[in-house]
Each structure stands twice: as structure tokens, then as C-alpha cells.
Structure 1
Amino acid sequence: MQTQWVYQLRDRPGTADVDLLDQGRGRPRQTLARQREGADGLVDGYVLQRIDAQLHTALYSWVLSSAPDPVSHYLLEFLTEDRPQQSPW
């Protein structure tokens, strides 16, 4: 039996907090990121803050896309996690 996780997405400005049931992705990732619509290269996303393994809940906080250093750092973690066997260069 596959365990489903609840992702709690918090702190996004102008948006209510959201709880989502995972779509069979397995364990929670360090980041949940997507390219911002209409903006080349800018990324919106959430960063994992805390996991409750007993309740199968992962709490994520919003990362401002206007803050390039944190976004770049978390994207590098995301790419490494997504493709751990491949060289980044």
C-alpha cells in the first residue's frame, strides 16, 4: 500500500494557505517549484520546513521569486534531488 502525504502550502502573499493530497510522488521533496507565468527565468515555489512522518504531513513555506539567492539555492537542491545520478555539468 502506497502512503499518501498531505502538503501544507503556507505564507504565499495574496493566497490562502492550502492543503493538498499528493499525487503519488512518494516522499516529500525539499522544494516545490515552477516557472512563473510570463516571466523568463523567474521561479515561484515552496521550501520544505517540517515533516511529520506519523501524520504523513509536509509543511512548506513560500519563497519569494524576487529573492534570487534563496530561490537559486533551493533550485540547486531541487535539481540534485530530482536527478541525483546525473552530473550538473
Structure 2
Amino acid sequence: MRMQWMYQLRDRPGAEDVDLPDQEGGRPRQTLARQREGADGLVDSYILQRVDAQLHTAVYGWVLSSEPDPVSHYLLEFLTEDRPQQNPW
């Protein structure tokens, strides 16, 4: 039986922390972008802080809110800085 991951989204200013079940399956990603409910296209971006493999929990820290394009650009820059030896595509 495959266990579902739980994502804990933390530290967004002015908001409570959120726990979400993973909808896609597989291991947690380094970055996560999530559309903010009721914000007409505003996206929050998060960076993976730690993983608890036994509890199947991934903890993400908030880093940026913006329209989707600036968030995507920021996350791509983060990935290339964090993993310069790997191809981001």
C-alpha cells in the first residue's frame, strides 16, 4: 500500500499554517506554488525545508506571493542556484 504525503505549508504572513494532502503522488518537490483561494490569480510560493520520510510529511516555508509569472521565475532561479550542476528542465 502506497502512503500519501502530507504537505505542511508554513510561515505565510497574515495566514495560518496549512496541512494539505499531496494530490500528485511521488516524492515532495523542492519548490511548490499554490494559487491562493479568493485572490484572483495570486500565487504563494514555498521552498522545501525538511522531509520526514517515516511520517510521509514535507514541511515547506513561504517565500513569495505574486502573479504566477514572477513566482515561476523566482522558483526557477532558486532551483538553478540551489542545484547548479543539474539541468532544471
Instruction: Please tell me the residue identity of whatever aligns with 2:31.
Output: T
User: Does the alignment pair 1:17 with 2:17?
Assistant: yes
- Runs of 4+ with deviation above 2 angstroms: 34-39, 71-78
2:56 maps to what in 1? 56
C-alpha contact (below 8 Å) 1:47/1:62 kept by paired residues: yes
Structure 2 distance, partners of 1:6, 1:35, is: 18
2:75 maps to what in 1? 74
Structure 2 distance, partners of 1:28, 1:57, is: 9
What TM-score does the superposition give when structure 1 sets the normalisation length? 0.64
C-alpha contact (below 8 Å) 1:3/1:26 kept by paired residues: no
Q: CA offsets, 1:29-79, max 9 Å, x none?
A: 00102578667xx8630000000001111000001247xxxx74532429x
Structure 2 distance, partners of 1:44, 1:19, is: 14
Instruction: Please tell me the residue identity of whatever aligns with 1:21.
Output: P
TM-align CA RMSD: 3.3
What TM-score does the superposition give when structure 2 sets the normalisation length? 0.64
Structure 1: 5+ residue stretches without partners: 79-83
